Amino acid sequence: MAYRHVVGSHIWAFADLATLMAKATPPRSGDRLAGIAAETAEESWAARWCLAEVPLKEILARPLIPYEADAVTRLILDTHDQAAFAEIGHLTVGDFREFLLTASTETLARIAPAVTPEIAAAVSKIMRNQDLILVARKCRVVTRFRNTIGLPGTLAVRLQPNHPTDDPAGITAAILDGLSYGCGDAVIGINPASDSVQALGDLLKLLDELIQRHAIPTQACVLTHVTTTLEAMERGLPVDLVFQSVAGTEAANAGFGVTLGLLKEAHEAMLGLKRGSLGDNGMYFETGQGSCLSADAHHGIDQQTLEARAYAVARAFRPLLVNTVVGFIGPEYLYDGKEIIRAGLEDHFCGKLMGVPLGVDVCYTNHAEADQDDMDTLLTLLGAAGCTYVMGVPGADDVMLNYQSTSFHDQLYLREVLGLKRAPEFEAWLHAIGLTDGQGALLTGAPNRLLADAAGIAA
């Protein structure tokens, strides 16, 4: 069925729901590259008027990718909570925006299992940045492994101590630096340069020993392909979190070498290890707008809607952490600071609305039209939106992956400006080892007990 909207003497027509949603998406280079973006600014706003009048029931009834053709669509529809949907099923997209602006935290938690990615994406397209911030801030998603992530008023940090050749001493040095800035409550997570199981094992042991030696209430992860992590678990290596990059279509996931069945197998293996002391949220997923298009697996659907579908994949495995790597993919998908900022807020909002513990890798590459000022803006907005976690990269410069993320200093800035605390168990640990005062502020000139480790590696 075609959708229509009249502006003055002009009738704007949109062939189907996928077309309407693509045209209603705030402008970005990836949708233009795919040839599905609105041709003019007026067309984009006509599409938004039209989308606002679409009933949520209709979005549910018209899957953008057919049920028979895609395992992610089947997952979304098979796990949809009909009872919870009763509360919002009578609304249009436009009504739903107003419902969200007035909803309480409890209401948002109740409807989360009724929100499909397509519903979340549709409403986000007619929301301004301030709406995305306000509603996300009210959503509460709390997860646990060895500490508690996502409590109100907190922000966690993934400590990302990457090294171009996985050198153990270099990685340890970066971890000690990050811990000394109070980073690492979300996870200490390494992107390895090598993908061998041997290298993975060495890094897993390094992280496990360091966490045990200092009794740090956090979890470790080496971000490698899920099949490699499965093999590591079979070999009895100390795996805390199981990582995988995921996308919003079956074909794009196939491009990553994963299926829902494989993720289920890894999830069950992780649960079997019982390494979480406070909870069993042990999965870690990364996503990013544009991954389906770059895998030629986008089905003519806009990149933001496909990104929200990736959160449905993540949601099925009760993850500890999920983050969009928002500016990593490059300017052919998100061209400049404005597009990256908008996408970061959309991704965070959609994830939270769906009940997923969303963090954001606030980042950019050197061929994007963006710089540190854009990252400061997005980081501050995400802090206001109650973002679950951000990255902590030494000096914001990842020397292994060659991109710029947020630094150890950046999270200190955000805590000072917005009064955000760390995961409570981690906060207590930092205080106990004498690095912070009772309020979580770093003490200047305090003796650093972690440096006892340094003698061995920097002799």
Partner 1 sequence: MSDQSEIWARLAGLTPARIGLGRAGSGQTTRSVLRFGLAHAQARDAVHMPMDARALRVEIEALGLATLPAASQAGDRAAYLRRPDLGRRLAPDDRGRLAASAGEACDLALVVADGLSARAVHENAVPLLEAFLPHAERAGWRLAPVVVASQARVALGDAVGEALRARAVAVLVGERPGLSSPDSLGIYLTLDPRAGRTDAERNCISNVRPAGLTPDKAAFKLGWLLSQALARGLTGVRLKDESDRVLAENPAVPQLPED
Residues that constitute the known binding site: 158-160, 191-192, 244, 286, 294, 361, 400
One character per residue 109-128, x = contact with partner 1 (rule: CB under 8 A): --------------------
CA dihedral 118, 123, 124, 126 (to 10 degrees): 130
What does the radius of gyration of the chain's CA atoms come to, in whole angstroms? Answer: 22
For partner 1, the closer CB: 31 or 346: 31
- Cβ atoms 108, 115 nearer than 8 A: no
> Which residue's structure tokens are 């997570």?
189
Interaction between residue 238 and partner 1 (CB under 8 A): no
Q: Do the beta carbons of residue 51 and residue 126 sit within 8 Å?
A: yes
12 contributes a contact to partner 1 by CB under 8 A: no
Binding-site annotation, residues for substrate = 158-160, 191, 286, 361
- Based on the shown chain and the rule CB under 8 A, indicate whether residue 416 belongs to the binding site for partner 1: yes
Q: Which parts are annotated binding residues for adenosylcob(III)alamin?
A: 192, 244, 294, 400
Our finding on whether 413 is near partner 1 (CB under 8 A) is yes
> Is the CB of 153 or the CB of 445 nearer to partner 1?
445
The token pair that represents 80 in the structure block: 């949809």
Please tell me whether residue 199 binds partner 1 under the rule CB under 8 A: no
| Measured CA angle at 252 (ends 246, 253), to 5 deg | 45
Q: Are 326 and 379 spatial neighbours (Cβ–Cβ below 8 Å)?
A: no
Work out which of 97, 309, 342, 415 binds partner 1, going by CB under 8 A.
Answer: 415
Q: Does 169 bind partner 1 (CB under 8 A)?
A: yes
CB atoms within 10 A of CB 405: 25
Binding residue (CB under 8 A) for partner 1 from 27, 170, 279, 424: 170
Q: Is residue 372 a contact residue for partner 1 (CB under 8 A)? A: yes
Q: Among residues 75, 142, 420, 454, which is the contact residue for partner 1, using CB under 8 A? A: 454
User: Is residue 151 close enough to count as binding partner 1 by CB under 8 A?
Assistant: no
- Residue from 219, 404, 405, 406 that binds partner 1 (CB under 8 A)? 404
The least distance separating partner 1 from the CB of residue 383, rounded to whole angstroms, comes to 13
Task: With CA atoms as reference, report the closest residue to 80 among 95, 94, 92, 67.
Answer: 67
Would you give the distance in Å from CA 60 to the centre of its chain? 24
Q: Which two tokens stand for residue 417?
A: 């400006």
Separation of alpha carbons 85 and 91, rounded Å: 10
Decide whether 53 or 397 has the Cβ nearer to partner 1. 397
- 407: helix, strand or coil: strand
Is the C-alpha dihedral spanning 193, 196, 198, 203 positive or negative?
A: positive
Point out which residues bind partner 1 (CB under 8 A).
Answer: 29, 32-33, 161-164, 167, 169-174, 176-177, 181, 331-332, 335, 365-367, 371-372, 393-397, 399, 402, 404, 407, 409, 412-413, 415-416, 445, 447-448, 451, 454-455, 457-458
